[in-house]
Every structure is written in C-alpha cells, then in structure tokens.
Amino acid sequence: MGRLQLPRWLEDVGVWTRRAVLTVLAVVVVAGIGALSVRSPMEGALAGAVLLALGFAAIDLGYLAVLCLPATFLMARAGGALSISDLVLFGAFVPAALLVVREEAGELRPLVWLAIVYQASLVPTLALNPYKANVIEWVHELVLVLGALVIGWVIGWQGRARLALSLYLVMAVAIGVCASVTALATFASSGRFEPVYLPGLHKNLIGNALAFATVLTYARPAWLRWNPRWAGAAMVVCLSGCLAAQAKQALVSVVVGILIVSLRSRRLGLRGWFMVAATVPLSYFVWQVVSEQLSSSNNFNSAHQRLTWYDRSIEIWDQSPLFGVGLRWWYTARFPDTGFQPPNVELEMLSSAGVLGLAGLVTLTIGAMLWLRTLSPAYGTIAIAIIAMRFTQGQFDLFWVAGMSSFPWLVTGIAVGALARSRHAEESTATVPSPEPARARTA
C-alpha cells in the first residue's frame, strides 16, 4: 500500500505550524532567560550559555569543543567551586573523547601519558588528606590538562582551529580596547596610569589572556590562515591592553613567548626584529615597577604581599615535604590565616602535593615541550611558547585557575590535531592513483 499523499496546501499548513510553534517556543525561552537575568544575572548568563551550547551540539558535537576557547574568559562562578569556563570544558570533554580518531592521534598519545603521570603524582596526597576539595581539585586538574588536550585535538583534526582561535582573538581584542580606553580615561582624570579592572575581569586575567593573544598573533601560524594586517592590528591592541592591565607576570610571559617564537623562526624579518627589540623596554618596565614596590614602605602592595604569602606557604609545606597537605588546602580551616592561594606555581605544588607533585608537574611541562620540539616547527612552536608562557606567569601569580590553566593545553591539542589533519590530507593525496595517460592512437 502506497504512502498517503497529502494535498499541497495541507503540507504548507504543517510547515507553517511547525515554524510558528518553534518561534513561540524560542520567544518563551528567550523571555524566560531575560526574566531570570533580571533576578540573577549569573543564572541568566549560565542559562544562556547552556542554551547556546545545546544549539551548537544539535548542529555538530564538534562545535562544543570550539566554545571552550572563548569560554576561557568566563571565570565567574557557576555555583560551588566551578566556573562557567569549567562547566563548558567538562561538557565538551566526553563528546570530544568520542570524536578522537585513535589511528590518527599518534602525536597526542605521549602528551596524554604525560598528563596521566602528573595525575598519578597527586594520588598520594589524595590518600593522605581525605577531604572533599582535594578530590574535586584532582578531577578539575584532570579535565584542565587531559580534557583540554583531547578537546583541542578534536578542534584541530576537524579543521576548526581557525574558528576557535579567532573567537578567542575577537574577545581578546574587545577586552584590549576596553582596557586601553579605561586606562586612558583614568590618566585623563587623575594624571596617573592605574592597573585596569573591568567588570568580572581581574587585571591578572586581562593581562594573561591578552598576553596569549599577543603571542598568537605574533606567531600567526600559517595553518590558521589569519590575514597578516588584521593579525598585526590585533597584536597591537592586545599588547596595549596587556600594558594597561599592568599585570607584571603577563608582560614577562610576553617576552618569553616572543623570544621562543623568534628563536625557532628561520626568518625573523623586520617585524620579528622589532618585536625582539620591544622585549627590552617591556622587561625594564616590569623591573622598574617591582623595584618601586619592594622599596616602598607600603607592606600591603602586591610585591610585599607576595613575599608574605611565600613565607607562609613554605611553613605549610614544611608540615609534609614529600606529599603535601592536600590540593586546595586554602579552602579548609586546618591552617589559620591562610585564606590565599600561593601566587607561585612551585610553592602551590610543594604545599599541596609535596616534592612528588612538583616533580609530576615539571615532568608534564618539560616533557610536553620536549615532545613538541620534535614536531614540525609550524605546529609545535606556538604550543611550546604558550606552555612556557603559562609556566612563567605561574612564577608570580596563581597557577591552577580555570580558563588560563586549560588554555595552553587547548592550544597544544589544536596544534597537534591540525598537524594530524595536514598529514592525513597529504597521505590521502599521495594514495590517489594518477590517471593513466591516454594511449597513442595507432595509424
């Protein structure tokens, strides 16, 4: 029996009915999010982010991975100890893991094993210090490193590296413009350049994020296909915003990133030599600011406060030198007057996971850079630079924080995935048989 054929006008009615229902549903959802935003801006933003993620997932699960790059700016808490950036990363991890093509992920495997070694180095402090925040942070760092690597690889493998990093760059440029304008407005009213804080964005977050964007646009890997002029303009804006934030660790990391990219480039050119030369005044500016703070009688400025926290962190580490007192110990009430996260990566790891945990992190960081050094510089250089930048930032700032801690591993995964995609395309082209030459006609 054949399928019942409906009249054309009835089919049109069905189509328009579906469109009307979807339109009404969309209006209701948007109105609901708007009403929620009035009552609680954070819950409204979270609901909007979830709706956007579901929309992308309905199109293609791979787009969830792309959202992780711009989400690194979303550091606001979504409830509990997790930020919006964390939730996006967690949500994209499982779908990304299902999209990994094992046969093509050869360059990713050593990085995955290094991440596993690091996580294993934290197990003793989990066993010796049983409390909730300890376990949560262990899972958190697993996703920040291993999850970010997998997510990044899927982005690169699916050919969405340009889209993902361009979204990040657009947000960085917008923040750079706002930071620069704010700094100029402050100078016009007070006659002094003060560190810039934007709504929901600490000066250190602004500085670190724009530092990454500055070096990304300076390196401008060919596989991103960024327009040189637009990338150059974006670099200037991001560097200006980084200077406006006056985040010293970010400026030092810019120097490190530019030097790594420049030293691994065979041809520097005029632009390259100019950027290398620019690292000198940047370094002098940081040295001058730190010297002024250390010589100041204000014992509560950032430099003196860090020295105080360093001493207290060493005292806590001394209680368990080998295994540490537990991850996120500053969230517990075990130690009086310790409501701070150590602003130094070595002291954070030593106090949290002891010598064993620090050894695991050094193995992960150095091992990853050594492995990336064996890959094509067109792909490995930018990943090495971003990892080194983050480690540099961690010498003077909080290291394990959402967004900024996952970004280096997202970029590393993207670079490795893009390399796998390029190699696969070349192999596919090489295996395509060339057409046989036409036989000459015989007379």
* Residue 368: half-sphere exposure toward Cβ, Cα within 13 Å: 34
User: Does residue 59 form part of some domain?
Assistant: yes
237 CB contacts (<8 Å, ≥6 apart)?
A: 173, 176, 177, 180
What is the number of structural domains in the chain?
Answer: 1
User: Cβ atoms within 10 A of the Cβ of 20, count?
Assistant: 10
H helices of 197-301, in order, are 203-219, 228-245, 248-263, 269-295
Q: Which of the 8 DSSP states describes residue 436? A: P
Q: What is the pLDDT of residue 141?
A: 94
Report residue 420 CA to chain centroid gap: 21
- Which residues of the chain are under the pLDDT cut of 70? 1-60, 78-81, 266-276, 278, 284-285, 287-304, 337-338, 430-443
Structural domain including 182 reads 49-285+304-422
Measured distance CA(265)–CA(86) in Å, rounded? 34
Residues forming beta bridges with residue 77, ordered by sequence position = 83
Residue 198 sits at φ, ψ, to 5 deg, of -110, 160
Q: What is the pTM of this model?
A: 0.84
Tokens describing residue 261:
């990219």
3-class SS of residue 83: strand
Tokens describing residue 393:
């930032």
- Residue 211 region, left (φ>0) first, then alpha (ψ -120 to 50), else beta? alpha
Q: What is the pLDDT of residue 49?
A: 60
The answer to whether the beta carbons of residues 253 and 214 sit under 8 Å apart is no
Task: Report the chain's C-alpha Rg in angstroms.
Answer: 25
Residue 246 sits at φ, ψ, to 5 deg, of 55, 35
User: Does residue 271 form part of some domain?
Assistant: yes
Q: What is the pLDDT of residue 442?
A: 43
Number of H helices, E strands in the chain: 17, 0
The answer to whether the beta carbons of residues 215 and 261 sit under 8 Å apart is yes
User: Does residue 441 form part of some domain?
Assistant: no
User: Does residue 339 form part of some domain?
Assistant: yes
User: Does residue 3 form part of some domain?
Assistant: no
Residues in the chain, overall count = 443
User: Does residue 11 form part of some domain?
Assistant: no
Measured distance CA(430)–CA(120) in Å, rounded? 42
- Classify burial at 424, counting beta carbons within 10 Å of its beta carbon; exposed 0-12, middle 13-18, buried 19 or more: middle
CA distances from 43 to 13, 28, 52, 140 (A): 38, 17, 14, 22
The model's pLDDT over 320-335, given as tens digits with 9 standing for 90+, comes to 999 999 999 888 877 7
- 309-337 in b/e form (b: 16+ CB < 10 A) is beebbeebbeebeebbbbbbbbbeeeeee
Long-range contacts of 308-315 (CB under 8 A, 24+ apart): 309/340, 309/342, 309/343, 310/342, 310/344, 310/347, 312/337, 312/338, 312/340, 313/342, 313/344, 313/347, 313/348, 313/350, 313/351, 314/347, 314/350, 314/351
**Amino acid identity for residue 283 in this structure:** S
Angle between helices 41-59 and 62-71 (to 10 degrees): 150
Q: What is the pLDDT of residue 45?
A: 58
Among 205, 235, 210, 201, residue whose Cα is nearest residue 220: 235
| DSSP E strand stretches across 58-107 | none
User: Does residue 383 form part of some domain?
Assistant: yes
The answer to whether the beta carbons of residues 256 and 392 sit under 8 Å apart is yes
User: Does residue 64 form part of some domain?
Assistant: yes
Q: What is the pLDDT of residue 295?
A: 65
Measured distance CA(318)–CA(350) in Å, rounded? 9
User: Cβ atoms within 10 A of the Cβ of 113, count?
Assistant: 13
Q: What is the pLDDT of residue 192?
A: 83
